[in-house]
Chains A and B, each alone.
Chain A
Amino acid sequence: MRIRGVELGVGIFMLAGAIALAVLALNVSGLNLSKQEGSYKVYALFENIGGLTPRSKVTMSGVTIGQVTSITLDSDQLMARVEMEIYKDIDYLSVDSSASILTAGLLGEKYIGVTTGADDEMLSEGDYIEDTQSALVLEELVGKFLFNQATE
Chain B
Amino acid sequence: MKALIDWVQGIGSDTLHRLSALGRAGLILAQALIARPTPAQSFPLLIRQLYFVGVLSLIIIVVSGLFIGMVLGLQGYTILVDYGSEQAVGQMVALSLVRELAPVVTALLFAGRAGSALTAEIGLMKATEQLSSMEMIGVDPLRRIIAPRFWAGFISLPILAMIFSAVGIWGGMLVGVDWLGIYEGSFWANMQNSVDFFDDVVNGLIKAQVFGLVVTWIAVYQGYDSVPTSEGISQATTKTVVYSSLAVLGVDFILTALMFGDL
Contact = CB atoms under 8 A, between A and B. Distances in A.
B159 to A, nearest CB: 3
A142 to B, nearest CB: 22
B192 A24 contact: no
Interface residue tally on A, bucketed by range: 20 to 34
Nearest to A104: B193
B54 A13 contact: yes
A17 B55 contact: no
A interface: dominant SS: helix
B111 interface: no
Which of A12, A21, A23, A31: most chain B Cβ within 10 A?
A21
A72 interface: no
Given A17-B159, A17-B163, A28-B94, A10 B55 contact: yes
Given A6-B48, A13-B55, A24-B98, A29 B195 contact: yes
B179 interface: no
B200 interface: yes
Contacts of A17: 158-160, 162-163
B51 interface: yes
B83 to A, nearest CB: 9
Interface in B47-65: 47-48, 50-51, 54-55, 58
Nearest to A107: B85
A16 B161 CA distance: 11
A14 interface: yes
A20 B197 contact: no
Contact of B163 (A3, A9, A16): A16
Given A10-B54, A28-B191, A16 B201 contact: no
A31 B166 CA distance: 15
A16 B197 contact: no
A86 to B, nearest CB: 20
Contacts of B205: 21
Given A10-B50, A10-B51, A13-B156, A25 B166 contact: no
Contacts of B94: 28
B54 A20 contact: no
Nearest to A30: B192
Contacts of B193: 30
Interface residue tally on B, bucketed by range: 20 to 34
B44 interface: yes
Which of A20, A25, A30: most chain B Cβ within 10 A?
A20
Contacts of A9: 51, 55
B55 A7 contact: no
Interface string B85-120: 000000000100010000000000000000000000
Contact of B51 (A6, A19, A31): A6
Nearest to B199: A29
A151 interface: no
Given A13-B58, A16-B159, A29-B195, A24 B201 contact: yes
Nearest to B49: A10
A148 interface: no
Contact of A29 (B50, B58, B200): B200
Contacts of A27: 188, 192
B209 interface: no
Given A19-B166, A28-B169, 11 more contacts: A7-B47, A13-B55, A17-B158, A20-B165, A25-B197, A28-B94, A28-B165, A28-B166, A29-B197, A30-B195, A31-B197
Interface of A: 3, 6-7, 9-10, 12-14, 16-17, 19-21, 23-25, 27-31
